[in-house]
Structures are given as structure tokens and as C-alpha cells.
Amino acid sequence: MGTQFSPQRYDHIVKLVVTGTIGIDTVYTPRDKREGVLGGSAAYFAAAASQLCPVRLVAAVGGDWPSEHREILCGFPGVCVAGLDARPQSRTFAWGGRYFEDINRRETLFTEVGVLQEAPPIVPAAYRDSEYIFLGNTHPAVQLGFIEQFPERRLIVADTMDLWIRTAHGELTTLLKRVDGLIVNDSEAGELTGFRNAISACKKILDMGPKFVVVKKGEHGAVLMHHEGMALVPAYPVEEHQVVDPTGAGDSFAGGFMGYLARERRSDAAALQTAMAYGTVMASFALESFGLDRMRVLTSAEFQQRLASFQQLARVG
Amino acid sequence: MGTQFSPQRYDHIVKLVVTGTIGIDTVYTPRDKREGVLGGSAAYFAAAASQLCPVRLVAAVGGDWPSEHREILCGFPGVCVAGLDARPQSRTFAWGGRYFEDINRRETLFTEVGVLQEAPPIVPAAYRDSEYIFLGNTHPAVQLGFIEQFPERRLIVADTMDLWIRTAHGELTTLLKRVDGLIVNDSEAGELTGFRNAISACKKILDMGPKFVVVKKGEHGAVLMHHEGMALVPAYPVEEHQVVDPTGAGDSFAGGFMGYLARERRSDAAALQTAMAYGTVMASFALESFGLDRMRVLTSAEFQQRLASFQQLARVG
């Protein structure tokens, strides 16, 4: 990064794409609530990654998708929305959730799958040269289908969730043999492996195929493991009252993580370790607001300042 | 440290003392059990600190204290046992506990307070010139009484527990205004402040008096906060099957933390941050065995190697 962010600088060399969901979220927190929030894994990922490099977005929305949400997404200079698959006769994916006093816990109030039950979004021909691919959480068979559409792929990283671990284990097993990396949270890692302990879970996931795995532990940081070793980061320290809405923090972590790798065109052990810090700091901004409000006004200087502060806080020895 | 450990090197300059308990422990883990284990906060602390510098121990034991336990403690070249207050007519403190499959959770099976219900152990006159003081967990009024017996004190750090937070809040409040630092685990910090969030809890504890506070989060690492800033460390990564017995890991953390500060004769922000790494690595050895078995055979080279590995794993950015 260094100086003022300029997506144009990287236009010709960075080809990062995210496939995932766009959602209309309803969020209840212990102290507030918000309806009709722009959400979904692809939206959070893209907003975060675009702070570091241009990012292409592949997701489907319905005829009910608010024009203000489109304006918000288009307002990120680094986000390319050519891969937004708008379906006038369909409905946008909608999700409602409520966070408990312990803000790390939440319950889903409703899910209206809408376009998610239809054919996967179409990948524009112009995206076929994408090199850094993030497969946001969806059915692993759909994720597998996306892989084939990126023949120039250099790095494929996937997310998944408990639903697919339980209901699509076969496809997920196949997917894990096809991706370079997996990013999951600690409960998903536990469900996938049977190990509550993140280190044990990482080891078992590596045996399933990926070259590296990241387990996100929310306020307790994250663990990276690959065949040459591992890396540990704490979470950026935030107080209870600073957490406005944790929704999308994990996707923002992934966006910061992949954005760094794509920008640097690296995926060696040292780059993966640095990417963990980028993801951590990006997530810390995401939870300061509902939806993408904080990311919309985030400046490169703010990000750099917090990253430097984090490196100081987390210095060991 | 650097080369082979030699307590003699520091004999004339390091004056570290720990006051606390010696216990006879019965420990059930999901896969094993052990009776008659040498335990107690002072034993674990002293064994850990002695890896870094000489340490003086103040604790009471009863007539039933096994001679093998004395031999184990005396087997640590850096531990001075002149402050062992042996009371032939009394019984040694005994504790029994059982760990759940989630090894971070345990229940107390029994507690036989024995000597703990009598007068506090006597501090030998030769210990009055102690400068680095660790007040292991006991009634805060007893901890306050110890402070006066160390007129040369340079740094006083205390531990406490939920029992005193609930039943001796007044004395604890007084104690917190008299100590330089407090080291507690996350559940104790939550109970003391009402904040589940470790960062919020640290801030509130600083308002109660200490110049710094450390909140230990077990497998999730630890947080240090003081008035100039904070420091975060993850835990050293251990797999489920490597955790033989977590008893005493927190006291070993404190021993490594204080041992480093006493050896360096420093307590500035940078030293406190480095001490967090020493505490973390010391704790990671402690849980590899029941009692002090692992600490008895720990070499300086092993410690240095793991510390260097930890610094690499936890490097950020």
C-alpha cells in the first residue's frame, strides 16, 4: 500500500474475483437494530478487498434489490459489478439474525433463499482471466462449478458453513481436494473435523487437501496452518461498546486476506502470514458499523495506521 | 538467558519472591488421572520462574506433606525453600479437580483447606530485601499483610480468584490500590468488572488501581494493558492430545512473566510485553505433564528454542 490507494495502479495486474451472496439483512444487536442492510458474503468480501486492490464480484440479485444497495457497491472504486447477475423475476437472498449480549453468539431469525435456489450466477467472459479466486460460502457443488470457469486461476480459496458440512459432505470433500486454501470459523472447523481445538482441526483439514487453512476465532484471533508451519494472530482489540454489528467481519477478514495476496501476487508462507494481519485489521473496521457503512468511509491512512498499531500491539518478545 | 542457565549468575542481584499455596492435588483428565501430585500456585510459579532466575518461596505445609514433594521442589536449583513454613500438627492444602472433554473447563471435586485456614506463612527475615513480589491467590487481607513485609519492594503483582471477588470485595479493592500489577484469568476479570470482553475488563481494572493488568485467556492467549497502551499474545499452539494436565498453567505463566522482569530488573512497557511471551511459553511446557514433571526436565535450550519458534509464529505483518 504505502501511499494513497489507487485501484488503477493495479488494474492490469491484479485479477481477484469473489463468488458469493448479496443479501438484504435484518440485524438485531443487544442495543440496536437495522432492517434492509446491504449484506452477503460477496458484498462484505468485495468492500474489504477493494481497499487493497480491484476486485470482481459474481453474485445474483433479484428484482427487489434496492437501487441504493447498487449505489453503495458501485461507490467502492475498486469493486467491479459487471458480474452482478440481476434477475427481475426473482427475489434477493434475505437474512435476519439476532446477536446475544455475548456478541460472539447469534441466532438466525429467518432465511429467504430467493435467487440462491436458482442456477448459480453467470461468470462474465471478461472475468475468465481471474487469477485469485475466492469462493464464498455456497453449496460446494456450485463452488466446484465456478472453479472450471477460471482457467487462469493461480490461487483458489474457499469458505464453507455447517449446513454443507452436514448435508453435502461428499461434494465438500471433492472441493477440498481442488482448492489451495480454506477459510472457516472455529465452529465450522470443529464440525468438519471433530476437533474443538483449532490446531488439531487445522492439521486434519490439511489432510483433506488444501495447501493452507485459516481458522477464524472471532475476538480470539485466527490461526493459519500450511505444510511448512503456522502463524497466529490475535484479534485487533475492540471494546464491547465498539462492536456495532459483527455481521460480515469474517468475510471482511477474507477480503483483506485475499486482497493482500492478490495485490502482492504472492502466496508463500511469509505472504500468508502478513495477509493474516491485513484480514484481522479489515475485520476490525467492518464491525464498527451496520453493513458497509464503515468500509465506505475507510481511508488508506486509517487502515495503515491501525495496521501499524496492530503490529506494535502484537509484537512478541 | 542466552546460554546455559546458571542461577548463581543472578544470585546477588535478583530478589524475586512468591507467596502462595503448596497443595496436594488429585487431577482427573478425560484420558488419565493422578493422585498425590505436588501442586499449588507457589509451587507452579516457583518452578517456572526458577527457569529464568532464582526465586524465594513463601508457603505453609502440614505434617502430611510428602518428603518426595520436598525433594521435587528442592530439585529446582533456582528455588529457595527457606520460606517453607512446615507445621507438623496441621494438614497440607489439598485440592481435587476434574477436567471435561473441553479441557478448558473443569470442576472442583474437593478442597481441604488445612493450613490455609491458619495464620499466614511466616516470611523469613532473609527475604525482607525481596524486590519483585508475586502475591499468589489467597485472601486479599493476607496478601495486604505480605506487602508490608517487603520494605525493599520494587514491583508487586497479585493474583486473585472468584471466591475473593465475591466474599472479600472491600479488602480486594484496597489491595488493588496497593499493587503494581494484577494477573487474572478471563473469567475472574469478567467477575471483577462485569465485562465479558477482555479489553473492556482491562480498562476497568486499571481504574481500580494497578499500573498494569494481564488477563489470561487459556488457549486464546493473553492481554496486557497499562496506561501507555497494551500488548496481545496468542497462546503457544498445542494440540488436544498434547495437553496432559492444564493445572498450574496460569501460575506457570505468572512465573515466566515475573521471572523475566526480575531477571532483567525492568518493568517498562517493552519489558512487560516481552514478559508476556516468556509467560506464554512457560505455560505451554507446564501443561505437558501432571504436576512439575515437565518443568523438572526443561532445559534452557528447549525453552529458548520454543520462544524463538513462538516469536516466528506470532510475528505480525
Task: Quick: pLDDT tens for A236-276.
Answer: 999 989 999 999 999 999 999 999 999 999 999 999 999 99
Residues of B with CB under 8 A from a CB of A: 101-102, 195-200, 203, 217, 219-221, 223, 229-234, 237-241, 273-274, 276-277, 307, 310-317
**Nearest residue, CB atoms, A316 vs list B198, B233, B317:** B233
In a domain, A79, yes or no: yes
Looking up cell 485466527, which residue turns up? A222
Helix B169-178 vs helix B140-147: angle between axes, to the nearest 10 degrees? 30
B155: which 3 cell numbers?
Answer: 514491583
- The residue of chain B with its CA nearest to that of A201 is B239
Extended strands (E) in chain B: 16-19, 23-29, 32-39, 55-62, 79-80, 84-87, 93-99, 106-112, 132-135, 155-158, 181-185, 212-216, 222-226, 229-233
**pLDDT bracket for residue A317 (50, 70, 90):** confident
Q: Nearest CB to A273: which of B197, B230, B315?
A: B315
Residue B179's nearest CA partner among B250, B274, B255, B267 is B267
CB < 8 Å to B186, chain A: none
Average pLDDT over residues A129-153: 96
- Say if A1 falls within a structural domain: no
- Whole-angstrom distance, CA of residue A77 vs CA of residue A257: 19
User: Residue A221 is nearest to which of B200, B234, B317, comparing CB atoms?
Assistant: B234
Q: How many Cβ contacts (< 8 angstroms) between chains A and B?
A: 100
All cell numbers assigned to B142: 493476607
Q: Nearest residue on chain B to A233, judged by CA atoms?
A: B314
Of A217, A273, A317, which has the smallest distance from its Cβ to B220's Cβ? Answer: A217
Residue corresponding to grid cell 499500573 = B211
Q: How confident is the model at residue A65 (pLDDT cuts 50, 70, 90)?
A: very high
Q: Which residue of A has its CA nearest to B198?
A: A239
Q: What is the pLDDT of residue B206?
A: 98
Taking residues B15-27, report their average pLDDT.
Answer: 97
Which are the contacts of B50, defined by CB distance < 8 A and separation ≥ 6?
B7, B76, B77, B78, B79, B255, B259
Residue B39 in contact with residue B277, Cβ under 8 Å?
no
For chain A, the C-alpha Rg in angstroms (whole number) is: 18
Lowest mean pLDDT among A52-66, A122-136, B7-21, B59-73: B7-21
Closest CA in chain B for residue A196: B102
Nearest CB among A273, A274, A313 relative to B231 is that of A313
Residue pLDDT, tens place only, B171-195? 999 999 999 999 999 999 999 999 9
Q: Are strands A106-112 and A132-135 parallel, antiparallel or unpaired?
A: unpaired
Q: How far apart are CA B219 and CA B284, in angstroms?
A: 10
- Residue found under cell 495486604: B144
- Average pLDDT, integer, range A162-181: 96
Condensed to tens digits (0 to 9), the pLDDT of residues B235-248 reads: 999 998 999 999 99
Mean pLDDT value of segment B94-111: 93
Report yes or no on B1 lying in a domain: no
Q: List the one residue out of A78, A94, A91 whose CA is nearest residue A37.
A: A94
From the list A303, A295, A300, the residue with the least C-alpha distance to A39 is A295
Q: Which of A240, A241, A316 has its CB closest to that of B311?
A: A316
Question: B126 in helix, strand or coil?
Answer: helix
Q: For residue A264, is it within any domain?
A: yes
pLDDT at B1: 38
Q: Is residue A2 part of a domain?
A: no
Q: B245 with B103: CB under 8 angstroms?
A: no
Over residues B283-289, mean pLDDT: 98
Determine the average pLDDT of the residues in B88-100.
97
A chain contacts of residue B217, beta-carbon cutoff 8 Å: 220
SS3 state of residue B180: coil
CATH number of the domain that residue B244 is part of: 3.40.1190.20
A contact test, residue of B103, B205, B224, B232 with most A CBs within 10 A: B232
With 0.90 as the threshold, say if the pTM is over it. yes
- Structural domain count, chain A: 1
Closest Cα in chain B, distance from residue A52 (Å): 15
A308: nearest CA partner in chain B? B317
Mean pLDDT (chain B) is: 94
The alpha-carbon gap from B275 to the nearest alpha carbon of chain A, in Å, equals: 7
| CB within 8 Å: A232 and B234 | yes
Contact B200 A240 (CB under 8 A): yes
CB B18 within 8 A of CB B45: yes
In a 13 Å sphere around the CA of B190, the CA atoms on its Cβ side amount to 10
Asked if residue B2 belongs to a domain, the reply is: no
Rounded CA gap, B285 and A104, in Å?
30
- Position B6 pLDDT exceeds 80: no
CB atoms within 10 A of CB B117: 10
Which residues on chain A place their C-beta less than 8 Å from a C-beta of chain B? Answer: 102, 195-200, 203, 217, 219-221, 223, 229-234, 237-241, 273-274, 276-277, 307, 310-317
Of residues B217, B230, B317, nearest to A311 (C-beta): B317
Residue B305: list chain A partners with CB under 8 A.
none
- Among B274, B210, B216, smallest CA distance to B248 is for B216
Is B316 in Cβ contact with A311 (below 8 Å)? yes
ipTM field: 0.90
A298 located within any domain: yes
Give residue B12's pLDDT. Answer: 54
Lowest-confidence pick of A7-16, A120-129, B203-212 = A7-16
Q: What is the pLDDT of residue A160?
A: 95
Check B234 against A230: CB less than 8 A apart.
Answer: no
Cα B67 from Cα A184, distance rounded (Å) = 51
The range of the structural domain enclosing residue B237 comes to 7-313
Give B229→chain A minimum CA distance, Å: 8
Query: Are A102 and B196 within 8 A, CB to CB?
Result: yes
- Pair A26, A238: CB distance under 8 Å: no
| Of residues B200, B221, B312, nearest to A234 (C-beta) | B221
Flag whether B258 is in a domain: yes
For every residue of B212-250, DSSP letters joined together read EEEEE-GGG-EEEEETTEEEEEPPPP--GGG-S--TTHH
Q: What pLDDT score does A252 carry?
A: 98
**Chain A interface, best mutation among B104, B195, B197, B203, by max A CB count within 10 A:** B197
Q: What is the pLDDT of residue A3?
A: 39
Question: A63-67 — which CB contacts under 8 Å span 24+ positions?
Answer: A63/A87, A63/A88, A63/A89, A63/A90, A63/A91, A64/A24, A64/A91, A64/A92, A65/A22, A65/A24, A65/A92, A66/A24, A66/A36, A66/A38
Question: Shortest CB distance from B199 goes to which of A232, A239, A314?
Answer: A239
Answer whether residue B203 shows pLDDT above 80: yes
Cβ-based neighbour number of residue A230 at 10 Å: 19
Interface touch B315/A317, C-beta < 8 Å: no
Contacts of B229 in chain A (CB under 8 A): 312-313
Binned at pLDDT 50, 70 and 90, residue B5 comes out as very low
pLDDT of res. A102: 86
Residue B99: which of B29, B31, B40 has the closest Cα?
Answer: B29
The reply to whether residue B237 touches residue A231, judged by beta carbons under 8 angstroms, is no
